[in-house]
Structure 1
């Protein structure tokens, strides 16, 4: 099955449709800070970590890079001051080719830069998984390869790359205290993520 066909099927599942329909009826709060991604993004309470900011959570459980690309119309409509993007772990889990993920990312970056020239875009590295305690099937070598490509892509397109990956490691995998199942984060995991990016969120641009 092609990536595009799989994405069409994903966009039609109730969980995705429910989340997107919620975005459609929420008040349009412009000039805020928008977090975009998959379940790792969706499951955090970003606004409570940054009460002085207008923070919007646009994470969707199980989303992929092509899914984010498909829903950019909504994100663009928010005219955010900043976008923090983390996506790709589900692409890797689905055995997506790294080059294909990179192309989807580049399409996302180019559209944001074109339609939101005043928006500061931050590409966050994809987080590692924990294999030894939770026997997670993803190989962190693939995650590291993707992150290397994303860093190169960010530099080439003059956007900021935030490398969180090495700061949540223990013996070359996600520290078990930061996860509840080998991939999804514990409260400590989210606190570590926030601690590393808070200077970028609070930075005046």
Structure 2
């Protein structure tokens, strides 16, 4: 996720990790964009663990589901081929606010449907699908308003929750 300040958080908190964490999220990136830049965004780092959170923009930009899922599958297959020893975690999409956002082109319902398809791709490729969203949503399942500045992108407090939920997978 573009605004996730994981590098800063790793410096500010004693996470007890012996690895450096990089966030390679780029604004408005789609699965097609990631496919074009896998060397720079993934392979050049030769990471031991990869956490993938890509595709919500595909949903929002109305990329046909068939293309979105083919791209995602190709990303996972490339990783398996080029980095067979890397542990890959396919992440569930973060919730978004219910109304009043500039992102009327997507909904939590759309993201949940995409989650199920992405979960299947993860399983088919032998990777683990994880959901680190506990604590982000209100009682209606929408991103808590105190955790976002635009209804979709989170403030640091939201990413603190995500980091806490990610810790079992980082160690």
| Alignment TM-score, normalising by the size of structure 2 | 0.87
> Do residues 145 (structure 1) and 113 (structure 2) align?
yes
- Whose relative contact order is higher, 1 or 2, with alpha carbons under 8 Å and at least 6 apart? 2
Determine which structure has the larger helix proportion and give its number: 1
For structure 2, the residue ranges without an aligned partner over 5 or more in a row are 12-16
Aligned partner (choices 71, 94, 99) of residue 104 of structure 1 = 71
Distance of aligned partners of 1:118 and 1:65 in 2 relative to their CA distance in 1, 3 Å threshold: same
In 2, Cα distance between equivalents of 1:43 and 1:126: 14
Within the candidate set 119, 130, 138, 2:97 is matched to 130
Describe the SS at the equivalent of 1:42. coil
Secondary structure of residue in 1 paired with 2:28: coil
Secondary structure at 2:68's aligned position in 1?
Answer: helix
Please say if residues 60 and 103 of structure 2, whose CA atoms lie closer than 8 Å, have aligned partners that are also in contact: no
- The alignment of Structure 1 onto Structure 2 pairs a total of residues equal to 162
Identify the residue that residue 45 of structure 1 maps to in structure 2: 5
Which of 152, 155, 159 is residue 186 of structure 1 equivalent to?
155
The answer to whether structure 1 residue 83 and structure 2 residue 50 are counterparts is: yes
Structure 1, unaligned stretches of length 5 or more? 1-40
TM-aligned CA deviation for residue 135 of structure 1: 6.4
Q: Does 1:54 align with 2:20?
A: yes
Q: Is the 8 A contact 1:123 1:161 kept in 2?
A: yes
Structure 1 residues 2-32: Cα deviation after superposition (integer angstroms, max 9, x where no partner) = xxxxxxxxxxxxxxxxxxxxxxxxxxxxxxx
| Higher strand content, 1 or 2 | 1
CA deviations over 1:133-167 (Å, ceiling 9, x no partner) = 54641221110000001111111111011123464
Which deviates more, 182-191 or 51-60?
A: 51-60
Q: What are the superposed Cα offsets for residues 155-184 of structure 1, whole Å, 9 maximum, x if unpaired?
A: 111101112346422112112122111001
Give, in angstroms, the shift of residue 44 of structure 1. 2.2
Change in 2 beyond 3 A, CA 1:177/1:133 = farther
The CA distance in 2 between the partners of 1:111 and 1:96, in whole Å, is 21
Deviation at 1:57, TM superposition (A): 2.2
Cα distance per residue 1:43-83 (max 9 Å; x no partner): 22212333443122211111111111111122212211111
Contact 1:129/1:136 (<8 A) preserved = no
What is the root-mean-square deviation in Å for CA atoms of aligned residues?
Answer: 1.7
Equivalent residues of 1:47, 1:55 under 8 A apart: yes
Q: Give the TM-score normalised by structure 1.
A: 0.73
